[in-house]
Amino acid sequence: MLIREMLETDLDEVCVIEAETFSDPWSKTSFLDSLSDSNNCYLVAVVDRSIVGYCGYYGVAPEGYIYNVAVSKNYRRQGIGCKMLEELIKQASLRGITSMTLEVRVTNRPAIELYKSLGFNQKGIRKDFYNKPKEDAIIMWKESIQ
């Protein structure tokens, strides 16, 4: 597996994973806009020349906000999300980010456990944060990136 920066040419594959993962997926235009913002960093995981996952954050030192984390259904539970996030956190640290936050559905136990294993802690709840279906989000923070 290779983890590298996301390129515009990756977006067709990224959008397939986005659509299979999220009930309210980002459009290709949303990803293009994010890639053009120098405050964003997006990574992809590549296996056998195919994109199998991606993640990204927005950051202005000292804080970063993780937007997206997704792994293709056929590649889940293999440590790909963890490896991508470890690299994303490393990249954030190199840009002067010292803490990161994210939201996760309260029912997404695998993601919550992944974030906890990476040092994120629950700090609050955003009521009705998600649509399709309507659901609360857990706010998680990693307060010391080293």
The answer to whether residues 130 and 137 touch, using CB atoms and an 8 Å cutoff, is yes
Q: Kindly name the residue from 63, 103, 113, 130 that is annotated as catalytic.
A: 103
Catalytic, 115? Answer: yes
**17 neighbors 51 (Cβ within 8 angstroms):** yes
Alpha carbon distance 85, 114 (integer Å): 9
Q: Is 42 tagged catalytic? A: no
Instruction: Please identify which of the residues 115, 130, 135, 143 carries the catalytic annotation.
Output: 115
* C-alpha count within 13 angstroms, C-beta hemisphere, residue 84: 33
* CA dist., res. 9 & res. 46, Å (int): 13
Catalytic residues: 103, 115
